[in-house]
Amino acid sequence: DTGVSQDPRHKITKRGQNVTFRCDPISEHNRLYWYRQTLGQGPEFLTYFQNEAQLEKSRLLSDRFSAERPKGSFSTLEIQRTEQGDSAMYLCASSFRRDGSGELFFGEGSRLTVL
């Protein structure tokens, strides 16, 4: 399967712990996006990478959140000192177009539950 893969699919953690999610995009895609989705809402943009450069961050991405894409391939999203409000589905998507017309290919998401 050559789609976008995310790991882990589910993560349960206690408040205050750190968590890290990994995303492997489609190999030829140079753009990688992170979105967050809560119950009853559509995906909300968090950040995006063009190759290894993080070019845009939403104000939803507080200082506790950090994302990297070290070699322009896979990406990680780390949440430090998790809070119950961080409970959500974290979606990764990739694209190969250089403008907004490109289709986003989504992974199945990583569901975070903060107790």
Partner 1 sequence: AQSVTQLDSQVPVFEEAPVELRCNYSSSVSVYLFWYVQYPNQGLQLLLKYLSGSTLVKSINGFEAEFNKSQTSFHLRKPSVHISDTAEYFCAVSSLNNNDMRFGAGTRLTVKP
- Please tell me the distance from the alpha carbon of residue 78 to that of residue 80, in angstroms, as a whole number: 6
Q: Would you say 60 and 48 are in contact if contact means Cβ atoms under 8 Å apart?
A: no
List the x/- string, 29-48, binding to partner 1 by CB under 8 A. ----x-x----xxxxxx--x
Q: Is the peptide bond before 8 cis (omega within 30 degrees of 0)?
A: yes
Q: What is the smallest separation between the CB atom of 81 and partner 1, expressed in angstroms?
A: 26
Q: Would you say 54 and 31 are in contact if contact means Cβ atoms under 8 Å apart?
A: no
State which residue, 82 or 104, has the beta carbon closest to partner 1: 104
Q: What is the smallest separation between the CB atom of 10 and partner 1, expressed in angstroms?
A: 12
Would the CA dihedral through 26, 21, 107, 36 be positive or negative? Answer: negative
103-43-33-106 Cα dihedral, nearest 10 degrees = -50
Q: Is residue 62 a contact residue for partner 1 (CB under 8 A)? A: no
| DSSP β-bridge partners for residue 66 | 78
Pick from 56, 62, 78, 115 the residue near partner 1 by CB under 8 A: 56
Pick from 109, 110, 112, 114 the residue near partner 1 by CB under 8 A: 109
Q: What is the smallest separation between the CB atom of 20 and partner 1, expressed in angstroms?
A: 20
By CB under 8 A, name the binding residues for partner 1. Answer: 3-4, 33, 35, 40-45, 48, 55-56, 58, 91, 93, 99-101, 103-104, 106-109
